Amino acid sequence: MPTYKAPVDDVRFLLTDVLQVERYDNLAGFADASPDVVDAILGEGARLCEEVFTPTNQAGDREGCTRHPDGRVTTPTGFRDAYRAYVEGGWMGLSAPADHGGQGLPSYLNTVMQEFLSSANLALGMYPALTQGAVAALMIHGSDEQKRLYLPNMVSGRWTGTMNLTEPHCGTDLGLLTTKAVPDADGSYAITGTKIFISAGEHDLAENIIHLVLARIEGAPAGTKGISLFVVPKMLVGEDGSAGARNAVACGAIERKMGIHGNATCVMNYDGATGWLVGEAHRGLNAMFVMMNEARLAVGVQGLAQSEVAYQNAAAYAKERLQGRALTGAAEPSRPADPIIVHPDVRRNLMTIRAFNEGARALVLWTALAADVSHRSEDAAERQAADDRLGLLTPVVKGVLTDLGFENAVRAQQVLGGHGYIEEWGMSQFVRDARIAMIYEGANGVQAMDLVGRKLPRDAGRAVMAFFGEIEGFCRDNADDVMKPYVEPLAKGLGQLQGSTMWFMNNAFAKPDNAGAGAGEFMHLMGLVAMGYMWARMAKAALARRHEGDGVAARMDAKLVTGRFYMERMMPEAGALARRIEAGSDAVMGLPREMF
Amino acid sequence: MPTYKAPVDDVRFLLTDVLQVERYDNLAGFADASPDVVDAILGEGARLCEEVFTPTNQAGDREGCTRHPDGRVTTPTGFRDAYRAYVEGGWMGLSAPADHGGQGLPSYLNTVMQEFLSSANLALGMYPALTQGAVAALMIHGSDEQKRLYLPNMVSGRWTGTMNLTEPHCGTDLGLLTTKAVPDADGSYAITGTKIFISAGEHDLAENIIHLVLARIEGAPAGTKGISLFVVPKMLVGEDGSAGARNAVACGAIERKMGIHGNATCVMNYDGATGWLVGEAHRGLNAMFVMMNEARLAVGVQGLAQSEVAYQNAAAYAKERLQGRALTGAAEPSRPADPIIVHPDVRRNLMTIRAFNEGARALVLWTALAADVSHRSEDAAERQAADDRLGLLTPVVKGVLTDLGFENAVRAQQVLGGHGYIEEWGMSQFVRDARIAMIYEGANGVQAMDLVGRKLPRDAGRAVMAFFGEIEGFCRDNADDVMKPYVEPLAKGLGQLQGSTMWFMNNAFAKPDNAGAGAGEFMHLMGLVAMGYMWARMAKAALARRHEGDGVAARMDAKLVTGRFYMERMMPEAGALARRIEAGSDAVMGLPREMF
């Protein structure tokens, strides 16, 4: 059975040495996250994931969820107990405001926990992740009454949340949605329609499920400008906040999927269900975007998480499995063969995953910190800069980390050879589970278009210019010999990214297909450079500590080797991506439709 | 349910216009494959695959194979009938010699058929593919008596074959194998041991199963030099060639796998089973390599096949699914949204797959033709040149086509968004089925080492020099303006491949890890250039016919656009691959083992 050990040391290195979070102690809640408190949280969180969540993961895949004839859905063996442990540990409200029952700690800690949970059991971790997204939407757009009725039980984890966007004929293009909302005399609405692909839509983990549902109020304009957001509880909630009668919403079926079998993906039928408007009428997409942006970051983290757990199991196998001899002569002549980790091709696979994992983790935490600053800083300029960075990096984190997270799960599976293909070994599940993250919360092609079509041009490119400026500044300030193996490839990659950005400016306005045809590559180019920047910062931090004892030196040396691997083996992709982007859209769009 | 249409027109274009197979009419069997005969075979083969094999594919995945308490294994619903239709059509013996009951046609036709079958139902297509591999090994290394006893029923398809290499503790490193063979007085051997991952090891499709088994004769030297090959029929075969009593070999379990559920992957227990030596004692690996080389080509074809069928279903979806509007303005203003094929990112995915499929199909047929020439030519120099090319390209076809075939199945799945993740749509099965091809018949890392460590240096680089020379010659001979968009990028890619080859020569002898660390990238660089060469040849053939009517011009124009896409979007990877190779092994091997 696969195992998992949460990368606590790496997180601590990032928080303390690379991001130096103590610089932000002026932000609300940050001073409470003292090094001791953070250590305790990381330790307890790791324990929960390693000892409670991980053991339920494989059985969850094998059993899946079951929909009973009466519409009830039960989760796999062990999920209820594991979720209860999560709730009792107070994890759901880790970063939620104290006035809704949360602990008010920085949200980067919640992001760390999302990684650990998603490595340990992705399908189970989705239930709380969706709830936290729904909490965020209600916190910003809900009325005081809605907050009072729903948030305390959601923040505690007694109730969970969902987001209901997709319908059979519309996913990405929400303007097509037809679920309708008819106003009742009492100010509520009767919601009718069918939603599909609703993760955690029905289950047995919580007493109540709070659905956030996009629908069109009768008579509303067509398209996306006529969509409103509604809160539709599974059990109607009384004035005293208790769950009461059943609402007219039910799970009609659960899907048979490639992976995340432990998460119930439901067809939800709304049959005149009672719902209440959240935020303004016809402005539902705005409210939903709060939830989606939180969720996109969380989904990017899922990509990293699957890559990490797949890596750990592949590395363990590679150190144990004996097969063949090192090219440089037997490494363990007393044994019948060498462990396969002596083979350069096996190493190359492991190092590729490792260099991604550590770079991606840094990028995730840097982005999560931007979210904290954008929400909590009292300095408007600082808030704006952080919000710019958050907006720019969110599609990159979602798109790039899930594409590469999946690729790495496949790569790790390959290390096990034939055993990797057998379900018993667990690698197949990592691959199958990781696959969904490239699709949901906006397929990665949509993330790329969000980056290129919306985030790049916004405010005359202010966000991307600040991003370039920061990396240029870092390269300038670290032009010494010892940093050269990191800074030089980074600067080259940045130049290619800047060149491609300029190419879009010169070629995409007149011919928008040029932007569309290169968007996917641009997103990956930006991810490559962003992780490269993280690696340069990690190398700098590692160089500063490499002479310490207590195993620190060995860890810092490993960082430096892995950073060199990133620069030598991964950064070269930047040139190929730039050439593809700058080839434009002629060949991409040249084939008549009927020839496909 | 997914559909499939065999790419008959494309095959015909390759055979007639690109490879001009009529030039080989002097080879045995080739003149029989007249254009009319080939047309009839392609048409009948397409019909079998489209109408008989395809409809069984999804049910095969859902049901899987069943092992019964008595050790019998049954295949999914419909497999027996489909296999019977295959046998009755005489397909098993298409390219087998007439003196064993085959039709003696060129083996490239069988390779075409392998593609069609593997697209239609990979799990089912494996049963005949393994049989053909076993036939090849017996034909070359079997005694006359063995040929007489086994081949007619195998060539007809009444009996199937397997290859038994892997054991629990040894896969790639066959030197570790422990299955033992004890000589009996009658010249047979008693075989005892456990083999795992035996595809088609037990099933209900055929009356008998002929296992080819690697084992160590008692007292044989350790390592690979003490391994012999045995033929071990499931049912012992009488002098008259009829299947009689049960041999002491049985399926102990079938594996629960990620995909190819319709193929029984068996643990085979040999409990003093009666077997007969094939070829010389202790030279079993040589004999097995005949089978493995055939099989490697066939597995490469499987990668292409899954990419092709996944493409077809993704393209059909992209032409139907309405979502969003073209960046250049509504393409179909009268409908609520445009079909998603208008979006450049969707096109980019489809074009990437298409450019691979057509390039890979050309490479496969070019390689299959080399196999035919190497076996059938009467000119020793021609045979040697063809054998050189076959040896050089076999690991490339196996490794590159399965890596990219899988990537493309994933890419096609992405086109369907959330529906791609739901089993009902069939895209998940293509991904899960395609995954195995990167692993079996030698994991792709092993293919890369075979290429770099064995095929490159062999005969002082004769094969690779001939390959370079041929492409250089083509580029020289086609330096005109109209071919420039194809020849120029090809020449650049070739230069990068030659540079990396030179780099190995200068850096890998003293430090073999430099070869190991770059082998995977080198294999892909070679595949990229080889398919690029195919594209340049296809472009030349298309240019010659683009003024014809009857829809030919449209097809030829499509070829030219797709070829440009290949050159602009795929060839740029060559530079990144070369830079990775030339970074060497320091960072790859630099981490101490305990730090993983």
Tens digit of each residue's pLDDT (9 = 90 or more) over B174-196: 999 999 999 999 999 999 999 99
Tokens, residue A439: 């699709």
B436 touches chain A (CB under 8 A): yes
Which chain B residues touch A170 with a CB distance below 8 Å?
323
3-state secondary structure of B246: strand
> What's the pLDDT tens digit per position in A448-458?
999 999 999 99
> What's the pLDDT tens digit per position in A528-547?
999 999 999 999 999 999 99
Tell me: pLDDT of A428 over 90: yes
Residue A361: predicted pLDDT: 98
Report the residue of chain A nearest B485, measured CA to CA: A587
Residue A272: predicted pLDDT: 98
Contacts of residue B158, Cβ cutoff 8 Å, sequence gap at least 6 = B87, B206, B207, B208
Tell me: pLDDT of B286 over 90: no
Q: Per the CB < 8 Å rule, is B583 touching A568?
A: yes
A448 touches chain B (CB under 8 A): yes
Which chain B residues touch A338 with a CB distance below 8 Å?
none
Q: How far is CA B295 from CA A454, B115, B177, B298, B397, in A?
A: 49, 13, 21, 5, 11
Query: What band does A315 get if pLDDT is binned at 50, 70 and 90?
Result: very high
Q: Per the CB < 8 Å rule, is A171 touching B562?
A: no
Q: Per the CB < 8 Å rule, is A512 touching B196?
A: no
Cβ atoms of A567 and A490 within 8 Å: the answer is yes
Tell me: pLDDT of A486 over 90: yes
A residues 11..40 contacting B (CB < 8 A): none
Residue A232: predicted pLDDT: 98
Say if A562 falls within a structural domain. yes
Rounded to a whole number of angstroms, the distance from the CA of B563 to the nearest CA of chain A is: 9
Largest CA distance in chain A: 84
Q: Per the CB < 8 Å rule, is A172 touching B258?
A: no
Report the residue of chain B nearest A590, measured CA to CA: B561
Cα Rg, chain B, nearest whole Å: 24
Average pLDDT of span A556-569: 98
Say if A277 falls within a structural domain. no
Average pLDDT of span A564-585: 98
B176 touches chain A (CB under 8 A): yes
Residue B505: predicted pLDDT: 95
Say if B389 falls within a structural domain. no
Residue A292: predicted pLDDT: 85
Which of A407, A441, A573, A594 is catalytic? The answer is A441
> What's the pLDDT tens digit per position in B59-91?
999 999 999 999 999 999 999 999 999 999 999
Cβ atoms of B212 and B288 within 8 Å: the answer is yes
Say if A341 falls within a structural domain. no
Tell me: pLDDT of A337 over 90: yes
Which of B308, B441, B568, B594 is catalytic? The answer is B441
User: In angstroms, rounded to a whole number, what is the distance separating the alpha carbons of residues B126 and B264?
Assistant: 10
A residues 502..521 contacting B (CB < 8 A): 512-513, 515-517, 519-520
User: From the centroid of its chain, how far is CA A154?
Assistant: 21
Average pLDDT of span B488-494: 98
Q: Per the CB < 8 Å rule, is B595 touching A554?
A: yes
Average pLDDT of span A148-158: 98
The closest of B318, B330, B363, B277 to B18, measured between CA atoms, is B363
A residues 279..318 contacting B (CB < 8 A): 315, 318
Tell me: pLDDT of B17 over 90: yes
Residue A50: predicted pLDDT: 98
Average pLDDT of span A41-69: 98
Tell me: pLDDT of A130 over 90: yes
Tell me: pLDDT of B377 over 90: yes
Residue B550: predicted pLDDT: 80
Average pLDDT of span B480-501: 98
Query: What band does B37 get if pLDDT is binned at 50, 70 and 90?
Result: very high
Q: Per the CB < 8 Å rule, is A561 touching B418?
A: no
Which chain A residues touch B431 with a CB distance below 8 Å?
258, 435
Tell me: pLDDT of B520 over 90: yes
Average pLDDT of span B490-496: 98
Cβ atoms of A131 and A92 within 8 Å: the answer is yes
Q: Per the CB < 8 Å rule, is B572 touching A595?
A: no
Q: Per the CB < 8 Å rule, is A319 touching B406?
A: no
Average pLDDT of span B136-152: 96
Cβ atoms of B425 and B419 within 8 Å: the answer is yes
Tell me: pLDDT of A288 over 90: no
The total number of residues shown for chain B amounts to 596
Q: How far is CA B181 from CA A258, B185, B214, B249, in A?
A: 43, 13, 9, 13
Residue A94: predicted pLDDT: 98
- Reply yes or no on whether A594 is catalytic: no
Query: What band does A153 get if pLDDT is binned at 50, 70 and 90?
Result: very high
Residue from the list B345, B438, B561 with its beta carbon closest to the beta carbon of A449: B345
Average pLDDT of span B267-277: 98
Which chain A residues touch B439 with a CB distance below 8 Å?
414, 417-418, 420-421
A166 touches chain B (CB under 8 A): yes
Report the residue of chain A nearest B448, measured CA to CA: A345
Say if A531 falls within a structural domain. yes
A255 touches chain B (CB under 8 A): yes
A253 touches chain B (CB under 8 A): no
Tell me: pLDDT of B173 over 90: yes
Average pLDDT score over chain B: 97
Tell me: pLDDT of B289 over 90: no
The closest of B305, B359, B363 to B116, measured between CA atoms, is B305
Which chain B residues touch A313 with a CB distance below 8 Å?
none
Residue B72: predicted pLDDT: 97
Q: What type of residue is B104?
A: G
Rounded to a whole number of angstroms, the distance from the CA of A347 to the nearest CA of chain B is: 6
Rounded to a whole number of angstroms, the distance from the CA of A420 to the nearest CA of chain B is: 9
Residue B333: predicted pLDDT: 97
Q: Per the CB < 8 Å rule, is B440 touching A428?
A: no
3-state secondary structure of B4: coil
Average pLDDT of span A186-206: 98
Range of the domain at A507: 458-584
User: In angstroms, rounded to a whole number, what is the distance separating the alpha carbons of residues B399 and B443?
Assistant: 8
Percent of chain A predicted with pLDDT > 90: 98
B586 touches chain A (CB under 8 A): yes
> What's the pLDDT tens digit per position in B311-321?
999 999 999 99
Which chain B residues touch A564 with a CB distance below 8 Å?
586-587, 590
Average pLDDT score over chain A: 97
Residue A386: predicted pLDDT: 97
Query: What band does B293 get if pLDDT is binned at 50, 70 and 90?
Result: confident
Q: How much is the ipTM here?
A: 0.98
Residue A294: predicted pLDDT: 85
Residue B287: predicted pLDDT: 85
Tell me: pLDDT of B292 over 90: no
> What's the pLDDT tens digit per position in B98-131?
999 999 999 999 999 999 999 999 999 999 999 9
> What's the pLDDT tens digit per position in B416-468?
999 999 999 999 999 999 999 999 999 999 999 999 999 999 999 999 999 99
User: In angstroms, rounded to a whole number, what is the distance separating the alpha carbons of residues A428 and A422?
Assistant: 7
Which chain B residues touch A485 with a CB distance below 8 Å?
none
Residue A286: predicted pLDDT: 87
The closest of A149, A569, A441 to B586, measured between CA atoms, is A569
Tell me: pLDDT of A290 over 90: no
Quick one: CA dihedral A448, A453, A454, A460, positive or negative? positive
Q: Per the CB < 8 Å rule, is B596 touching A565?
A: no
Say if B406 falls within a structural domain. no
Domain count, chain A: 1
> What's the pLDDT tens digit per position in B385-395?
999 999 999 99
Query: What band does B492 get if pLDDT is binned at 50, 70 and 90?
Result: very high
B72 touches chain A (CB under 8 A): no
B561 touches chain A (CB under 8 A): yes
User: In angstroms, rounded to a whole number, what is the distance separating the alpha carbons of residues B230 and A555?
Assistant: 51
B406 touches chain A (CB under 8 A): yes
CA dihedral B496, B498, B499, B501 (to 10 degrees): 120
> What's the pLDDT tens digit per position in A163-183?
999 999 999 999 999 999 999
Tell me: pLDDT of A549 over 90: no
Average pLDDT of span A233-246: 95
Say if A453 falls within a structural domain. no
Residue A110: predicted pLDDT: 98
B558 touches chain A (CB under 8 A): yes
3-state secondary structure of A180: strand
Say if A502 falls within a structural domain. yes
Q: Per the CB < 8 Å rule, is B346 touching A322?
A: no
Residue from the list A439, A448, A576 with its beta carbon closest to the beta carbon of B575: A576
Q: Determine which helix (DSSP H) or strand (DSSP E) holds B494, and give its type and residue range.
A: helix B484-507
Residue from the list A259, A328, A348 with its beta carbon closest to the beta carbon of B588: A348
User: In angstroms, rounded to a whole number, what is the distance separating the alpha carbons of residues A52 and A193?
Assistant: 38
Cβ atoms of A68 and A62 within 8 Å: the answer is no
Query: What band does B290 get if pLDDT is binned at 50, 70 and 90?
Result: confident
Residue B288: predicted pLDDT: 85
User: In angstroms, rounded to a whole number, what is the distance separating the alpha carbons of residues B300 and B394?
Assistant: 8
